[in-house]
Structure 1
Amino acid sequence: MSDVITIRAKTIEEAVSKASEHLKISPQKIQFEVIDEGYRGLFRKRPAIIQVFVRKSVRKEEESPTTVDILSAPSKAKIQSEYGTVWVKDGKIFCKNGSYQYAMLTPCDGLTLTVNGQAVTGTTIVAEEDVIDLELHNHLRETKISLTVSEDQMQVLLEIVPGYSITRSLKDMPPSRELTLEVMETRTVKTSITEEMVYQELEKIGVKMGIEHDEIKRACRSREPIKCVIAKGYDPIPGRDGVFELVSQKRREEKEQFIITDTVDWKERFSLPSVQAGEVIGYPVAAKPGVNGWNVFGHEVPAPEVKELTVLTGTGTILHGENRKLVATEAGRIKITQHPNNTLGFSIIPQYVHNDNVNIRTGNIRFHGDVFILGNVEDGMIVEAGGNLHILGRVSNATVRTGGDSVINGAVTGSTIICGYSNLVWDNMLPHFKSTYELIIQLINAIRQLESNKSFSRQDIAKMGLQPLIKLLTEVKFKELPSHIRKISGFAKNDKEIFDSEMQLIVDFLEKAFLYFHPLVSDLGQMESLVARMESIIFAAEFDSNKKMNINVQSLTNSKVISAWDVEVERFCYGSNIQAKGTVRVKEQLRGGQVEAGHFVKVKEIGSISGSSAVVWVTNSDGYVQADQVWPDTMIRIAQLTKKFIHEESSVFMRINDQGSLVLR
């Protein structure tokens, strides 16, 4: 390896001689390259410059440090003066020549070093006769400002990045044979943005409303980068849709007659309280329009439109008088059905009270409203309630089916309990109903397109009706439509009691139009009316399917329970099968049988010491099973992951962790 040094002198020969003296080697051993031959005129002189290449090994061999060490102290001082030095004082560079060697100077970042008019980028030799100039590089960055209007034109965001200046000065350094320059930097924040400039920018882009003067002042005074909202529009104030107001405060505060669990949200489970015939239930309250707002440009922002309440009266209700008060024409519990476009349907579900046991003597009970049984339900009997069901006694070897909630205060043995039956039916039927609705819309659009075709003859439709065209489209393009309609028809015929007359009329029209191609289906207006009615039913079915129908029983033995939402067993569950869309709670023992829940299962004890096996399954992957005690032969499943217990376990909380593994606690 070799070093490169730069030598300046009057001539090339003198530069070689200076290099020889500096390096302590003979001129013949010096390797150099001529950078500038120099010039000496009458009025202008330019030094000769050479670059000398020196092998490091040669320098080390010829420096002879051993000889220096044996010299006396006075000799050392003499030798020290033989070497050139360079130093910095008060921002200026000074140098002193040595007898045998010149000082060496290296520039640093942040300045430009020139020696005798030549810029220096690396290490160079300097002498007293050299003209050394220095230029410090100062830096100035301007302040940046930007204004951004939000997409909705309701806000203006100001961003300011203050500018700054960097002033450099040369650091004083003591004399040295080899010196690397250093600079000191002073950074000063300089913001050139004034409040007046911000106001001018706002005026340029047309901002007129909601200017935040304090925020502008704060931003302009900030010494750090800042973002702030300097203009805000006035948001529109939403109005209120039309609502239904109950007449009586007592009615508003009243809860349903029987409670399943304190944690249940009553608003989700029940509608309005029971009423008597002739009682005023309430009245619709007109919608209240909102107040328009203004954006930052001074343009009006309309408030959201409000919808008036539409009240539809069903069985047992009428609207009376100028104020359109809703009046019950018979006693029972109010049922509310929610429809699109802020529409509520009201009807009265009658209530039936059975003061005795249900047995062969009294016969089965089938009632489309709420049912209250003050006794037991005995062997072989059937109880069906369209609404809620409350049984004060026990149920033995019987079948109970309800459209609403079920509470059984006594033990249930060898029986089948189905709660929220209509919801469960709709769970299976709704996909077919929605597919039919969508296909009919597509079929109507296809007919509309054909009518707009010039080659299509409307006279044929006028003579023969729509049936041939509907049949052709059904058989060619909409082949799956009849299959869905047959599924719907099957559900409607098997469970007639849970479908109202409106639904029965829709099923009848579907069969005539797309299965039998009946001539009474004569124009598109009929089909469009059908679609509108189906849309209303889909909305109501989806609304009803979200209602949480629950079962609460004292105990279960060798029984089957199906719930549209939760199941709660106050004591034990032996050898029974439970299926719930929501949760299952058993406050004591769960022995034998199978339990399936959507969200979680909580049990005090699963299985038994004698080996009574049980299967517990939570279908949702984010669900869990919690038990104080789990005995061997118990199988617990979360989603698709299963664990069979070989040994007794306590304080079990089984779930799937973030890594997708089944964990016990």
Structure 2
Amino acid sequence: MLGVIITRGKTVAEAVRNAARQFKVSEDEIEYEIVDRGSRGFFGRSAVIQAALKRRTSGDVGSQAHEAGLEENAEDTSTTYFQSEELVPEGTAWVKNGQIACKNGIFHYALVTPCDGLVLRVNGEAVKGTTLVIEEDVIDVELLNERVEPRMSLTVSPDKMQVTLTFEPGYNIVRRIRDHPPSRELLLEVTEDKQVVNHLTEQYIDEALSEIGVQFGIDRDQIRLACQAQTPATYVVAKGIEPICGTDGEFELASKSKTEQKDRFTLSDIIDWKERFSLHNVRAGELIGQATPATPGVNGRDVFNQEIPVAKVRDLTIVAEEGTALRGEQKVVATASGRVRIQRRANHTMHFSILPQLVHNGNVNIQTGNIRFHGDVYVLGNIEEGMTVEVGGNLHVTGAVAKATIRTRGDTVIQGPVIGADIICGHANLFWDNMLPSFRLIHRDLIGVITALKQLEANQAFTKGDIAKKGLQPLLKLLTEVKFKDLPVRIRELSRPIKNERQSFDPDVHKIMDFLEKSFCYFHPLVSKLIQLESLVEYMGTIIVSIEQDANKKMNIRVQSLTNSTIKSAWDVNVERFCYGSDIYCKGGFQVQGILRGGRVQAGNFIEAKEIGSNSGSRTEVWLTNDEGYIQADTIGTDTVIKISKLAKKLINEEMDVRIRVDDHGDLILR
């Protein structure tokens, strides 16, 4: 009931009349609830009721003014209760102006339940759950306000190029207990007012930066934004200047249109093999190209005001060798016609030479003799049985090759069939694949020998006069017998094949091997000074770098067909028609556009064919060394052995449309 009051009387009727008088209305306008009917007798109890005005509709005559008076107090329904203590119902509790009060009832007492954000204490004891309260209790409320301090941290990047400020504003939470009208079961409620706290100042941030040593690149705009932040954020408050790297000197070819070479064959490739060999062809007197000067870099500066130096740039050193000349300091000019050969060496050095081109008209046979030429060779005919062709560059044969031996340092193209031949393409590259580790070990041992010699020179038992008279031979012999026993063995193992294939290796390599043999196999008296060995070590280092760079070059073979031949290629092998009973090794991929039957193929990255093997008992083995590669064919016949890395499978049944690979689980799959 709205506007409830408690009235008493000897009888219920008298209590109703008393209520009407208080409301100043007639008894008909009163609605009430009997609390106690009272009892008769001298010491009887009074009747007690809870009374209120009846609710009126907007159409009731004379109700407008009275309703208007009630509506004035509609926003705070507790106003009626607080006008007088006598008007508050018995057995209730309420909140007014942040204070909790209660009124005892005859048969009922109020219950109070605390909420989060405050501590309710009754008679000094904290109350956690619902508790009964009476007028005699001392009821206190402690509001739990919160304060979280703002947090700031500065982080310097590992490269010392920027400082990041991470900021989380603080806040204050002020709580107030909400007023509540009288209720038998009072549930306390609080209101919260959250206020963001940001005490950052530019001076405070500057001092923090100064404490960690930051002096350069401070961003005032970012600092001001941090001082105004109302939400968590990060700001780059200091930033250094990145160094600008310079560029080393390089070389620009005068003709760029012929510098690109393809390193992979595909069925869709249309390759002009004559142009492929021309990297690039020049005539005597023609400009090959010129060096571009190095561009110095610009030093940077970090947030601690320390200078960050850039690497020194290197000008290109040009060495003009056979068939070339240097004009001025920058330009390389051909003095002979042929193909340009460029070799990179250590210390940013490039060697230029011209590989001459030999055109052999007709067949290579017993009448013409073998061909050994350090440049490119064009054979306009066949290479017949028993003949040898060794080429320092590329080889192009317009006819067939039968039971011949071919060695090239570059690409090989044979337009006719190849029968019973032995062909190695990129011979030096294949050789260094196996022997470069041994060459490096020799280089390492030489460094050790030089260190040991210097220690012996410092020993009183060996005087400089003795070394001057006898040379280094006694010491070298002693060291190889005691500490470096494997050094002469490695030198002999490496020297033998290099001598046998003299045409396939650069003169630099032969010079090194000759000196190594004289020094550590024959102990030649000409090797008498330590400086000679030190020069050799430095020279070997440049040659190793050159060999490593040359090893990345990809030499390819392309033939019309193969029968009972042995082929080795420093990269790809491409067969236009068929491959029967041949032994193939290539570091790259193998592709035959027709049938691959019999023999063995070992490739690095892929094997592709229309048909592999047969159903007539011709054993064919195909092997990929790279476990990420694939084998692909339209048909694979029975008695074919498939290997990828260490996984192998022999096919029993014919398979169609096959792509063999290793899946993510390490299993060999055929689809």
- Say whether residues 1:163 and 2:167 are aligned partners: no
Task: Please say which of residues 96-105 and 300-309 is displaced more in the overlay.
Answer: 96-105
What is aligned with 2:236?
229
> Alpha carbons of 1:195 and 1:655: their partners in 2 closer, same or farther (altered >3 Å)?
farther
| Matching residue of 1:275 | 282
Displacement of 1:518 in angstroms is 2.7
1:342 to partner: Cα distance: 0.8
Q: Please give the alpha-carbon distance, in whole angstroms, between the structure 1 residues aligned to 2:467 and 2:187.
A: 101
Structure 1 position 603 matched with structure 2 position 603: no
What corresponds to 1:192 in structure 2? 199
Query: Equivalent residue for 2:445?
Result: 439
Look up the equivalent residue of 1:350 and give its one-letter code. Answer: P
Are residues 1:403 and 2:409 paired?
Answer: yes
| Aligned-partner Cα distance in 2 for 1:208–1:265 | 63
Partner of 2:302: 295
Q: Please give the residue correspondences for 1:177-216 in structure 2 after superposition, counting only pairs within 5 Å.
A: 187-194=194-201, 197-198=204-205, 201-202=208-209, 207=214, 209-216=216-223
Partner of 1:33: none
Alignment of 1:456-471 (within 5 A): 457-471=463-477
For the pair 1:662 / 2:665, whether they are aligned, the reply is no
C-alpha distance in structure 2 between counterparts of 1:224 and 1:635, whole Å: 68
1:339 partnered with 2:325: no
1:146 to 1:260, Cα distance in 2 relative to 1, 3 A:
closer
CA distance in 1, matches of 2:207, 2:90: 66
Per-residue Cα deviation, 1:545-603 (whole angstroms, up to 9, x for no partner) = 11111111222222221111111222322222221111112223222222111112222
CA contact (8 A) 2:150 2:197 kept: yes
Q: Which amino acid in structure 1 is aligned with residue 146 of structure 2?
A: H
Does the aligned pair in 2 maintain the 1:162–1:223 contact within 8 Å?
A: yes
SS of equivalent residue, structure 2 residue 256: helix
Conserved? CA contact 2:361–2:381, under 8 Å:
yes
Give the SS at the match of 2:296.
Answer: coil
Aligned-partner Cα distance in 2 for 1:294–1:195:
23
- Kindly provide the CA deviation profile for residues 12-35 of structure 1, in whole angstroms up to 9, marking residues without a partner as x: xxxxxxxxxxxxxxxxxxxxxxxx
Q: Is the 8 A contact 1:85 1:178 kept in 2?
A: yes
SS at match of 1:592: strand
Aligned to 1:390: 396
Question: Could you tell me which residue of structure 1 aligns to residue 370 of structure 2?
Answer: 364
2:418 pairs with 393, 406, 412, which one? 412
Q: Equivalents in 2 of 1:458, 1:582: separation in Å?
A: 55
Deviates more, 1:352-361 or 1:430-439: 352-361
Larger-Rg structure: 2
Q: Deviations over 1:295-339 (max 9, x none)?
A: 33444433321111111222222324x445323232221111111
**Contact 2:252–2:292, Cα closer than 8 Å, also in 1:** yes
> Bigger shift: 170-179 or 448-457?
170-179
Q: Give the one of 469, 473, 479 matched to 1:473.
A: 479
Could you tell me how far apart the structure 2 residues matched to 1:145 and 1:558 are?
Answer: 79
Contact 2:200 2:226 in 1 (8 A): no
Is residue 574 of structure 1 aligned with residue 580 of structure 2? yes
State the shift of 1:485 in Å.
1.0
The answer to whether the 8 A contact 1:429-1:487 is kept is no
Query: Quick check: 598-607 or 292-301, which moved more?
Result: 292-301
Q: In structure 1, which of residues 406, 428, 432 is the aligned counterpart of residue 434 of structure 2?
A: 428
Deviations 1:223-270 (A, max 9, x none): 432223233322222222222233x3xx2222579997459999xx97
Q: Aligned residue for 1:116? A: 123
Moved more, 292-301 or 82-91: 82-91
Name structure 1 gaps, 5 residues minimum: 1-72
| More divergent stretch after superposition (304-313 vs 444-453) | 444-453
Aligned twin of 1:503: 509
Distance in 2 (alpha carbons) for counterparts of 1:573 and 1:372:
24
- Quote the offset at 1:411 in angstroms: 2.2
Report the secondary structure of 1:505's partner residue.
helix
Post-superposition shift, 1:526? 1.0
Deviates more, 1:542-551 or 1:325-334: 325-334
**Alpha-carbon separation, structure 1, partners of 2:634 and 2:95:** 83
Question: 1: distance between equivalents of 2:497 and 2:659?
Answer: 40
Of the three residues 534, 545, 550, the one matched with 2:556 is 550
Name the counterpart of 1:637: 643
Does the 8 Å contact 2:243/2:300 carry over to 1?
Answer: yes
Once the two structures are TM-superposed, the CA of residue 505 in structure 1 deviates from its matched residue by 2.4
Q: TM-score by structure 1 length? A: 0.79
Deviations 1:596-642 (A, max 9, x none): 11112222332235454422211112222223333333222111112
Query: Are residues 357 and 88 of structure 1, via their aligned partners in 2, closer, same or farther at CA, if it must alter by over 3 Å?
Result: farther
Selected match of 1:152 from 146, 156, 159 = 159
Task: Report the residue type matching 1:156 in the other structure.
Answer: V
Is the contact made by 1:107 and 1:180 (CA closer than 8 Å) also made in structure 2? Answer: yes
Residue 547 (structure 2) pairs with residue 541 (structure 1):
yes
- Structure 1 window deviating more from structure 2 (533-542 vs 378-387): it is 378-387
Of 623-632 and 564-573, the range deviating more from structure 2: 623-632
Of 562-571 and 195-204, deviating more is 195-204
**SS where residue 538 of structure 1 aligns?**
helix
Q: Distance in 1 between matches of 2:640 and 2:90?
A: 95
CA deviation profile, 1:382-415 (whole Å, cap 9, x unmatched): 2221111111222223222211111122222222
Pair 361,257 (structure 1): closer, same or farther in 2 beyond 3 Å: farther
Task: Verify: 1:316 aligned to 2:327, yes or no.
Answer: no
Secondary structure of 2:596's counterpart equals strand
Distance 1:180 1:257, change over 3 A: closer
Distance 1:334 1:133, change over 3 A: same
Cα deviation 1:28-86 (Å, max 9, x = unaligned): xxxxxxxxxxxxxxxxxxxxxxxxxxxxxxxxxxxxxxxxxxxxx999xx9xxx99666
1:579 is paired with a residue whose SS is: strand
For residue 59 of structure 2, what is the aligned residue in structure 1? none
Q: Distance in 2 between matches of 1:596 and 1:214?
A: 65
Please give the alpha-carbon distance, in whole angstroms, between the structure 1 residues aligned to 2:448 and 2:125.
86
Q: Does 1:131 align with 2:138?
A: yes
Alignment counterpart, residue 353 of structure 1, candidates 352, 359, 362: 359
Deviation string, structure 1 residues 166-222 (Cα, Å, up to 9, x no partner): 344446789887777665655444333355654554466565554445544554554
Q: 2:256 aligns to what? A: 252
- Aligned pairs for 1:5-154 (under 5 A) are 92-95=99-102, 97=104, 107=114, 109-120=116-127, 124-154=131-161
CA distance 1:590–1:170, shift in 2 (3 Å): farther
Amino acid at match of 2:156: V
SS in 2 for 1:410: strand
Report how far residue 479 of structure 1 moved.
1.8
Question: Could you tell me whether the CA contact under 8 Å between 1:271 and 1:336 is conserved in 2?
Answer: no
Q: CA deviation at 1:442?
A: 1.3
CA distance in 1, matches of 2:481, 2:321: 39
Matched residue SS, 1:348: strand
CA drift of 1:439 comes to 0.8
Please tell me the residue identity of whatever aligns with 1:308.
D
Of 488, 491, 503 in structure 2, the residue corresponding to residue 485 of structure 1 is 491
**CA separation in 2, counterparts of 1:95 and 1:496?**
115
Q: Give the partner amino acid of 1:444.
A: I
Q: Distance in 1 between matches of 2:382 and 2:123?
A: 119
**Aligned-partner SS, 2:480:** helix
Q: Answer whether contact 1:611 1:631 (CA < 8 A) is retained.
A: no
Take 2:576 and 2:355, find their aligned partners in 1: how far apart are those partners? Answer: 29
Contact 1:271/1:335, CA 8 A, preserved across alignment: no
SS in 1 for 2:433: helix
Contact 2:292–2:330 (Cα < 8 Å) also in 1: no
Unaligned runs of 5+ in 2: 1-33, 37-47, 49-88
